[in-house]
Amino acid sequence: MSYNMLIAEDEKNEYDLVIFLLQKLNLSDAFNVLHASNGRQALEILKDTPIDVLLTDIEMPFVSGLDLAKKARENNKELPILFFSCYDNFSYAKTALSVGACNYMLKPLDPSEFETTMDSTLKLLDKTSRKNELLLEAACKSDGGKHSVELVKRYIKANYHKDISLNSLAEMVYLNTSYLSTIFKAETGCGINKYIKNVRMEKAKELLLTTNMKIADIGISVGFRNTSYFVKSFHDHFGKTPEKIRNREN
């Protein structure tokens, strides 16, 4: 499982150093890194993307790292926040602690300290993730998994045009793939892959009947990159080609 890490840093060489250290420590797969070059941009990312860990400079244009951390903490009480700064200033460190920072590292980053910090941060994230997983599993068992299945169905209906994997869906609702597949089929009467295909086919049919879009473009818009495969899948599903559906032929 990878975690979303937001790095708020306006100095490119310092950002590059963090990326280098993550790669050197073989943590590139553990974190999906998002970068903000100023505090205002970081706030926008926080609004649109769930963040699992925040690594921020203290001094940044528009919005300081401390103000950014305060805002992030309002939205996520358990968010690990890591500061790094060239200021060896007690008042900064004290303020960092007041917003629940996990660590305050000085620039340039010390590789050993960074490694220790990332190790403890990952352990904290894994512990929190496992706790959420257990809570959701308990909730699933109490309602037969209906809530999780409903979340997955909503996600599929909103994102049918994207590549959707069973692993990503299971991670989203903190369940293992086998359990999610079992409760999904029990609740809907079909497997997840079939459900995704049904949603895509119904949307494709709707577009055929209500728009003048080209068949190839419709295929792409519902998640098919290959037109021939889309046409075959459509025919297998409805028993008619897209052209016949559009022309309402028997």
Per-residue confidence (pLDDT) for residue 92, from 0 to 100: 53
Give the separation between CA 59 and CA 220, rounded to whole angstroms: 44
Lowest mean pLDDT among 69-73, 182-186, 209-213, 227-231: 69-73
Quickly state the pLDDT bin for 237 (edges 50, 70, 90): very high
Return the higher-pLDDT residue of 46 and 196. 196
- The answer to whether residues 3 and 52 touch, using CB atoms and an 8 Å cutoff, is yes
Instruction: Name the residue type at position 107.
Output: K
Q: What is the arithmetic mean of pLDDT over 131-154? A: 70
Counting residues of the chain whose pLDDT is more than 90, the rounded percentage is 24
pLDDT at 75 over 80: no
Q: What is the arithmetic mean of pLDDT over 119-133? A: 76
Domains for the chain: give ranges and CATH numbers.
3-130 (3.40.50.2300), 144-250 (1.10.10.60)
Per-residue confidence (pLDDT) for residue 96, from 0 to 100: 55
pLDDT at 129 over 80: no
Per-residue confidence (pLDDT) for residue 211, from 0 to 100: 93
Per-residue confidence (pLDDT) for residue 199, from 0 to 100: 95
Helices 192-210 & 227-238 angle (0-180, nearest 10): 100
pTM of the model: 0.51
Q: What is the arithmetic mean of pLDDT over 186-210? A: 93
Backbone angles phi and psi of 45, in degrees to 5? -65, -40
For the four alpha carbons of 241, 245, 249 and 250, in that order, the dihedral sign comes to positive
Contacts of 80 (CB under 8 A, 6+ apart): 52, 53, 54, 102, 121, 124, 125
